Amino acid sequence: MELDRLDWIALGHEDALDPTFPIIDPHHHLWHRGGSRYLAEELYEDLTATHNITDTVFVECMANYDKERSKELQPVGETYFVAEESERLEKLGGPKISGIVGFADLMLGKRVIEVLDEHADAGRGLFRGIRHATAWSDDPEISISHSKPTQEIMREKLFLEGLTVLAEQGYSFDAWLYFDQIDELIDLALACPDIPIILNHLGAPLAIGRWKTKNSEVDKKWKDQLTKLSKSTNVYLKIGGIGMDNYFNTEWSSLTVPPSSELVANYWKDKITWVIDTFSPDRCMFESNFPVDRQTLPYSVVWNTFQRIADQYSHEEKRALFSGTASTVYKL
């Protein structure tokens, strides 16, 4: 997964279809590791180049953990790092990082309160909740997410205890899992109806591993499970991750130039329209997932794709999709 092929990405740059419509980007990362850099300067360049991005939300990615602290408190270093980057971004005069979603191990159960309190202190008013990624598969060709969850971790008693504490403190929960795990999230949402749960990246309808040649089977299971999940009104959906070739097998990363927003919109339109109509615009939000989606898509193409797909909706519905839902859920 190459994220810094900047010369190649530049070949696909587009002008904004609508450069004035306000956008909140509720899902991006920051890091400087493994030869890849995406810090305040790189974020600023993307945010200000084409579209009217007003605010962003950072989502955890194991960046700048504090290795001097105990294992459960190491993630607080990431929140401290992002709070500093937000101040650097503000000095550049661009859009603001207005929320931070960090990591805390929900398997700490009730003890997770200590980690949440430290995140709040480190976040300088920006801390909004946590993401505890639970993406797991027994297929060796499908990676287990970076937080190294065990099978059916969301069904564990301690996990629910931790989520309950998160709810009591007024925070949100971002979920990153695969489409064949959505049934676990359904049960979790029913067991803890008072917390905003934000399912990342369309619920990950995979096209790799055992699912590579089973598009119809994946589509049916994905739709069946998301239809059930949509009945829980505390669940929201992030529409993005559409550039993740490593999960969706689009093969765009091997093209001579990046795909156009027209091509990407045609590819994703049916799925995206279906989830918006299933959950409603008030419970959906478009996300960039940058710089991860940069493995295939320029930032301008991501937002032009969403503007093309959203063109069928009313002004108020578009306002919800591009900013309103994110602002409400993350209390921006």
pLDDT band, residue 301 (cuts 50/70/90): very high
The pLDDT tens digits for 34-45 are 889 999 999 999
**For 115-124, what is each residue's pLDDT tens digit?**
999 999 999 9
- For residue 100, pLDDT over 80 is answered with yes
Split at pLDDT 50, 70, 90, the class of 309 is very high
Confidence class for position 2, pLDDT limits 50, 70, 90: confident
Mean pLDDT across the chain: 97
Among candidates 71, 194, 81, 176, which has minimal Cα distance to 127?
Answer: 81
Give me the torsion for CA of 136, 141, 147, 153, rounded to 10°: 10
Average pLDDT estimate for 47-61: 98
Residue 321 has pLDDT above 80, yes or no: yes
The pLDDT score that the predictor gives to residue 234 is 98
Q: How many CA atoms lie within 13 A of 61 on its CB side?
A: 19
Residue 100 contacts residue 58 (beta carbons within 8 Å): yes
Q: What is the pLDDT, as a whole number, of residue 41?
A: 98
Q: Please state the rounded mean pLDDT for residues 124-136.
A: 98
Percent of the chain with pLDDT over 90: 98
3 state DSSP class of 179: helix
Structure confidence at residue 108 (pLDDT) = 98
Domains of the chain, CATH where assigned: 6-329 (3.20.20.140)
The Cα–Cα gap between 220 and 229 comes to 14
Entry pTM: 0.97
pLDDT at 71 over 90: yes
Burial of 307 from C-beta contacts in 10 A (0-12 / 13-18 / 19+): buried
Mean pLDDT to the nearest integer, 272-289:
98
Count how many residues are written for the chain: 332
Sheet arrangement for strand 52-59: 22-28, 52-59, 96-102, 127-131, 172-175, 197-199, 235-239, 284-286
State the CB neighbour count (10 A cutoff) for residue 45: 12
pLDDT surpassing 70 at residue 1: no
pLDDT digits (tens, 9 = 90+) for 137-173: 999 999 999 999 999 999 999 999 999 999 999 999 9
Residues 231-240: what's their mean pLDDT?
98
